[in-house]
Every structure is written in structure tokens, then in C-alpha cells.
């Protein structure tokens, strides 16, 4: 089955509506961090206050995501995502009210954290649904699952390109308030739609059938994969910081988001192409070689001296990002029992968020000292760590990558 046939067969199992809803439902999370930064910074006149509020949202989301994921494994995605979608929308509304009340910015940071704690991680939860969705597809199931994870990786990257762009558009047309209010409406509508979609009942069936063999969550293999995602988050944070520094130095700080989006463009293309990778290329081996690719493609950042030279480097570097992330999430699903997959997927997403905060913080300090090159050195350092983790943990991942018993619910049909 060709990659195109795989995608056609996969999306035929759910119908196009589910695919569109699941994509739109993840946009509010991608919009929230930049939206909060601009909202608070505009209201207070302090980027420090804006950055602290955005950071509070990101850290709270990283802490809450695996807790919500574990709860979804226990009681099902439908009630959990529904509560998160409505609660997250109300949390954003509360943040808007707090900022416009004129309260000290510390209150905005606190309400940002509350909103971040409630915001759902739709991408990881959507990954959980594909295994039961593809049940009953026989010998094609492994290829369809791999295609699903390729698509989800590309969709996540596309959302983090489109989300900030929508915030920028909303700010240009109206204000940061309008942009975040739009995110709240999208979350309430499409998040609830995703929660109530018929595919959610299949994860309930998988959860009930697999609960007896749930096993423990934090195995050595999953911890290693969390470190791998922490590394890729560090890449995101340091690249964005370095790009901001070089754009500001060029007198074009507004171009930061567009240049950072180039990383996502390359990543989306590579992610969709992952469906063509042959199954005989083992996942643990993929992670090792994609880590090497990440390091090799990051090194040219140390030679960048202008926006003109930065653009092609970011675009090419993006081709290594999605394959690395997709492989990590695929391994996460493989080394975890079906009854704990929600917690595993959201834990990996949380590690990515923490890595982003770490990379931005370290790169920011180094940039204050020496400009964009030391900031990009953090990206290269993350690539080195990715290689060390993936190669030293190869035996652990290979041993853990064994089939887990899975229930076989009836497949969803369009």
C-alpha cells in the first residue's frame, strides 16, 4: 500500500469531519502562549510580565497534561476532554477579565496558570484513538497505525505554525484580546466536538479491555523517551530565542514568528513523508539516526549571520524534527500498555513543553551575553544530547519494544 493509499484508507475509517475537528481543536493550545504574552505585555507595557504569564501557562499545562491523560485512561476521553475544553475556554475568558480589570500582573500570571492547567492536549489524545480505530483492518493495521502517527506529528507541527499566525492576524485586525477570545470560542466548540465524537467510545472499549494488564507507566523506556522529547522541546525554545535575537538586531523583530514557522514547514513535509518509511526500519534504529540527522542539520546555525542565511537553515533543519518526534511517540505507544497510552502520550507532550521553557531560558541568558550564536549553540547542544540519549538507550528501547495485547473493537466507518 502506497503512502497516498494509506492516508486515503486511514481517513476513510473516520471520515473527513473527524480529521478536521481534531485539527481545529488543537489550535487554541498553539495560540495561547503567544496570545497571553502579547495580551499581558500590551496591557502592562512590560514584556517581562507578558513572558512570565506565558511561561506560567506553559508550565501549568506541562504539569497538568499527564494528570489529565491518566484520568482519561481511567474514566475515558469523553468526559475528561469535555471538561477541559469548556474549562479551558472559561479559563481564557477569566484571564481576559483579569487583565482588563487593571489588577496587578501577578494576578494575570496566576489566571494564566489556571487556564494552562485546563487546556487539553488534543494531539496526544488523538494519537491514542488511532489504534482502536484501525482495529479490524487485518494485515494493513501496522502500516495504518504508522501512517496515523505520521499524520498526527505533521498536524501538530502545522498547528504550531498556524496558531501563532492566527494570533498575529487577530492582533493586526483587532487586538490580543480578540485573538485570545477567538481561541476560547474555537476550544469550546471544536474541543467539545472532539470529546463527543464517536471515536471516543473506541478508546473506552480499549481501556476497559486492557485495564487488567495496565502495568506501570514510568518504565525505563518511557523515561528515556521523555528525555528525548525534552531535547526536542529545547530545540524549539532555543531556535525561537535565537531567531528573535537575530531578527531584532536586523530591525525586524516582527519577522520572528514567520522565520520560526519555516522550521514547522519543513517538519510538516517530512512528517507526512514518514508514512513511506518501511516497517523493517526498526523504531529504535530510526530514533538513533534521526537524532544524528538533527545534530548534523543544527550545526549550520552556528554559521548564520543574517536573516537571509537563517531562512534556508531553519527550513532544512525542520526536516529532521517531525521524524524524530513521530518516532518517539510511536515508541511511546509501543512500550506502553493500551490502558496507559493516554498518560504516556500526554507525558511525552508535557516533556516537550518543559524542554521548550528550558531551551528558551538558557538560550535567552546566553543571548544576553553573546547574541544569537550562543543561543543557537543551545540547539546544537540539544542535538548532541539527542544522539547520546538515543544511542546509549538503544538496548533499553529495543527490549521494551514488544507487542502489548490489544482489544479488537469494531472499526469506525465513515
Same domain, residue pair 199 and 221:
no
CA distance 246 to 403: 47
- Cα separations (Å) of 144 from 16, 17, 22, 151, 403? 16, 19, 18, 10, 16
- Domain ends where: 176, 196, 213? 213
Same domain, residue pair 32 and 105:
yes
Same domain, residue pair 23 and 94:
yes
**Is 351 buried (19+), middle (13-18) or exposed (0-12) by CB count in 10 A?**
buried
Same domain, residue pair 116 and 229:
no
- Give the pLDDT of residue 229: 94
Q: Is 351 left (phi over 0), alpha (psi -120 to 50) or beta?
A: alpha
CA distance 110 to 120: 18
CA distance 256 to 374: 17
Helix, strand, or coil here: 384? Answer: helix
Same domain, residue pair 187 and 272:
no
- Give the pLDDT of residue 265: 87
Same domain, residue pair 189 and 63:
yes
Cα end-to-end distance, the chain, whole Å: 20
107's CB contacts (< 8 A; 6+ apart) are: 98
Same domain, residue pair 188 and 309:
no
- Give the pLDDT of residue 251: 83
- Domain ends where: 213, 234, 254? 213
Pick from 22, 5, 339: nearest CA to 198: 22
Q: Domain range spanning residue 69?
A: 1-213
Cα Rg, the chain, nearest whole Å: 20
Q: Please answer whether residues 84 and 120 qualify as being in contact, where contact means their C-beta atoms are separated by less than 8 angstroms.
A: yes
- Give the pLDDT of residue 314: 93
**Is 408 a domain residue?**
no
DSSP for 268-297, please give it: HHHHHHGGGS-TTS-HHHHHHHHHHHHHHH
Same domain, residue pair 136 and 85:
yes
**Is 181 a domain residue?**
yes
CA distance 331 to 188: 32
Using 70 as the pLDDT threshold, list the residues of the chain that sit under it.
47, 204-215, 253-254, 402-414
Helix, strand, or coil here: 216? Answer: coil
Q: How many domains does the chain have?
A: 2
**Is 305 a domain residue?**
yes
**Is 409 a domain residue?**
no
**Is 51 a domain residue?**
yes
- Give the pLDDT of residue 414: 45
- Give the pLDDT of residue 403: 59
**Is 319 a domain residue?**
yes
**Is 410 a domain residue?**
no
Same domain, residue pair 206 and 284:
no
Same domain, residue pair 125 and 241:
no
What CATH number corresponds to the domain at position 71?
1.20.1250.20
Same domain, residue pair 188 and 305:
no
Same domain, residue pair 9 and 55:
yes
- Domain ends where: 165, 186, 213? 213
Is the CA virtual torsion 71, 77, 79, 81 positive or negative?
positive
**Is 27 a domain residue?**
yes
Amino acid at each position: 500500500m502506497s503512502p497516498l493509499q494509506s492516508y486515503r484508507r486511514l481517513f476513510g475509517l473516520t471520515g473527513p469531519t473527524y480529521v478536521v475537528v481534531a485539527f481545529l481543536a488543537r489550535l487554541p493550545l498553539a495560540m495561547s502562549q503567544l496570545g497571553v504574552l502579547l495580551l499581558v505585555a500590551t496591557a502592562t507595557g512590560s514584556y517581562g510580565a507578558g513572558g512570565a504569564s506565558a511561561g506560567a501557562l506553559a508550565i501549568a499545562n506541562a504539569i497538568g497534561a499527564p494528570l489529565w491523560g491518566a484520568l482519561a485512561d481511567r474514566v475515558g476521553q469523553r468526559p475528561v476532554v469535555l471538561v477541559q475544553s469548556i474549562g479551558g475556554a472559561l479559563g481564557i475568558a477569566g484571564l481576559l477579565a483579569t487583565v482588563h480589570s487593571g489588577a496587578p500582573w501577578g494576578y494575570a500570571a496566576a489566571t494564566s496558570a489556571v487556564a494552562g492547567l485546563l487546556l487539553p492536549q488534543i494531539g496526544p489524545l488523538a494519537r491514542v484513538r488511532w489504534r482502536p480505530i484501525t482495529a479490524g483492518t487485518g494485515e494493513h493495521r501496522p502500516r495504518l497505525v504508522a501512517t496515523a502517527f505520521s499524520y498526527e506529528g505533521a498536524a501538530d507541527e502545522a498547528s504550531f505554525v498556524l496558531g501563532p499566525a492566527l494570533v498575529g492576524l487577530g492582533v493586526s485586525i483587532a487586538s490580543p484580546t480578540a485573538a485570545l477570545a477567538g481561541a476560547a470560542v474555537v476550544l469550546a466548540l471544536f474541543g467539545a466536538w472532539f470529546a463527543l465524537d464517536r471515536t471516543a467510545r473506541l478508546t473506552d472499549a480499549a481501556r476497559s479491555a486492557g485495564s487488567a494488564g495496565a502495568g506501570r507507566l514510568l518504565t525505563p523506556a518511557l523515561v528515556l523517551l521523555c528525555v528525548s522529547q525534552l531535547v526536542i522541546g529545547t530545540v524549539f525554545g532555543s531556535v525561537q530565542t535565537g531567531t528573535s535575537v537575530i531578527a531584532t538586531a536586523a530591525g525586524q523583530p516582527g519577522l520572528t514568528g514567520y522565520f520560526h514557522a519555516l522550521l514547522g514547514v519543513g517538519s510538516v513535509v517530512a512528517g507526512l513523508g514518514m508514512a513511506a518509511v518501511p516497517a523493517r526500519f526498526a523504531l529504535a534504529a530510526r530514533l538513533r539516526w534521526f537524532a544524528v540527522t538533527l545534530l548534523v542539520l543544527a550545526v549550520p546555525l552556528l554559521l548564520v549571520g543574517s536573516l537571509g542565511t537563517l531562512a534556508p537553515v531553519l527550513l532544512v533543519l525542520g526536516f529532521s524534527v517531525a521524524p524524530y518526534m513521530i518516532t518517539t511517540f510511536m515508541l511511546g505507544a509501543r512500550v506502553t500498555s493500551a490502558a496507559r497510552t493516554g498518560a504516556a502520550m500526554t507525558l511525552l507532550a508535557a516533556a516537550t513543553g518543559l524542554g521548550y521553557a528550558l531551551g528558551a531560558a538558557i538560550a535567552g541568558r546566553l543571548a544576553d551575553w553573546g547574541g544569537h550564536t550562543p543561543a543557537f549553540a543551545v540547539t546544537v547542544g540539544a542535538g548532541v544530547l539527542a544522539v547520546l540519549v538515543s544511542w546509549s538507550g538503544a538496548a533499553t528501547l529495543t527490549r521494551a519494544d514488544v507487542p502489548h495485547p490489544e482489544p479488537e473493537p469494531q472499526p469506525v466507518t465513515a
